[in-house]
Structure formats: C-alpha cells, structure tokens
Amino acid sequence: MKLSRRVKFCGTQLDDLAPEIVIQGVDLGNSKENISAVDRLGGFGQRITGAHWQTLEASVTFGIDVPRTNLTRRMQIWDTVANWCANKAGWLSITFDGRETNTIAAPQGKALSVSNADYIAYMNKRMYADKVIMPSPGDMYDWTKEFTIIFRAYNIPFWQDEVVTSAASGTAASGTINMTIPGRIKTPVDITFQNKSGKTISSFKVWTKLSTITLTDISLGGSETITISHGTDGLMAIKKGSTSLYSKYTGSDDLLISPGKNYVKYEAERAGILTASVYGRYV
C-alpha cells in the first residue's frame, strides 16, 4: 500500500520524485519540553522556574526499489531526494488513507490502529521544519538499504492542523466570537479587525481567557485593518497595514487560546469586524 502515507515537503510529494521511491515508515515524534530550575533557597532540591516546548523531531524512512546492478539510477534518485529536503526549511505534511498503519509510529508511544483516536487526531497535520537532516548514501550496492530523513522543528515545535478554524463577528464596537478550538494544547490566535465606522479609532482591545492585548494611539482610519499574526518564526506580529504597532501595545506576550469551547472578545471605540483564526496544535 505505497500510497497509504503521503509525505509532502515544501509543496512536493516525496514519492512523486521518482516511481522507485517506497515510503517505509513515518515517525511523528514527540514535542520535547524544556524545564528550567534553580536551587531552592534555604533547603534541598530545586525549584522549577519555568517550562517551554523546545523541539519536535519527526522522521520519514524510505527505500529505493532499484537493483544494485543499476547503481547509477540508485545514486540519481538519492541525489534527487537530498536536493528535495537537505538544508531546507518549510512545511512538512503527512497524510494517511488508513489502509496500512503497522509501520506508523503513534505519539506518546501508544498503539496505532485505524480506530485509535490518536491516529485520527494526527491525520492531515503539518509541522514547520527549521532543519532537515539527510543521511549518508552509504553502500549503494546494498539494494535493501533504507534511509531515514530527520525533520526538526524549533520555532513551532508542534504538529498543527493543515486547515485553519476561523470565525467572524458582526459589525459592532464590541463583541464575542464563540469558537470550538481544535487541538490538545493552547495555541495562538490570529486576528484581523477592520474599522467599519468611517471614522478614526484610537484604541482597541482583544482578549481570551488566557491573555489580553490592548492597543492605544493607533489612529486606525475609516477602512483600515489591524492584524495580529504568527509567522513561521513563531513570533507574534501586530501591524496596521505594513506598519508595526509593537510600540502601541500592552498586555500579554502572546494572544493564546485553549482547546475546546472558548471565545475571543474585543472592544473598540467604534464599530468594526473582528475575525479570529486558529490552527489547532498537538503534542
């Protein structure tokens, strides 16, 4: 069942590079948590001062179905795969059709089957790989040899949905967007707020149960838009058009929301439309 696993990186499918490429297995990896601690004052042991997600490492194992008598072709395919992934950064997508699951490693080491909730949860997800490591070709005369490509995510060390979940408010000076947030952990919210009043707005506030961002002295014109977005560097950007509003905001380090039934609220001096967009995250 060769097509039970489709691996796409930077928009190109691995097994589209050559018909002789056979994907043998996929390991989704586990997000690694880094915990900081200091010596506990006046006692023994340590005190935890903070924790954050550090890396995610996934891997894809493939074979080259070419006999050793055709070494030139085997090396040509290997070079093609190396050019496809080595020393690049981009989105890695893995989709399954459910026909073959025995070589797909489940998250947290759980058993994997078509009916397993973890398997279903990890279908049609993506990760942004900041670094890709291609193995050495080794002995190309060994026609049974398998190769494992390592994909490492540092800035966004999670699998996340391929498809965004979004919702919009009506036109009003304040409002609430009720959303069902996918995923297993808290995730950033991308926001657009367009002024629909025809007059200038000088202040704007948006918040969830977890965090709040307040913008002041923004001079948002009658049809202008504020965006709060998160790039592949994992950092939040706040802009009015192409102009940064970082000097205009106070509040949380990021605009986060928890999975499940939740909300995004906003207040402005005048009426506008708020749109909230979320990619569910998984560990």
Q: Which amino acid is at 89?
A: A
pLDDT at 68: 82
Could you give the percent of the chain with pLDDT greater than 90?
64
- CATH code for the part of the protein at 2-159: 2.40.30.200
Same fold, 2-159 and 165-282: no
Per residue in 77-88, pLDDT (tens digit) is 999 999 999 889
Three-point CA angle 67, 71, 73, nearest 5°? 85
Regions of the chain short of the pLDDT cut 50: 1-3, 47-48, 98-118
CB 35, CB 51: distance < 8 Å? yes
* Of residues 77, 61, 68, the one with CA closest to residue 20: 77
CB 209, CB 261: distance < 8 Å? no
Distance in angstroms (rounded) separating the CA atoms of residues 226 and 26: 40
What average pLDDT does the chain have?
Answer: 85
Domain-by-domain residue ranges, the chain? 2-159, 165-282
Cβ burial, residue 29 (10 Å; 0-12/13-18/19+): buried
Strand bridging mode 201-207 / 260-278: antiparallel
Tokens 């026609």, located at residue: 143
Distance in angstroms (rounded) separating the CA atoms of residues 141 and 68: 5
Per residue in 86-96, pLDDT (tens digit) is 889 999 998 76
pLDDT at 103: 41
Cβ burial, residue 66 (10 Å; 0-12/13-18/19+): buried
- Report how far apart, in Å, the C-alpha atoms of 56 and of each of 85, 88, 152, 283 are: 17, 16, 6, 9
Q: How far is CA 100 from the centre of its chain?
A: 25
- CATH code for the part of the protein at 165-282: 2.60.120
Per residue in 129-164, pLDDT (tens digit) is 999 999 888 877 787 889 999 999 999 999 999 899
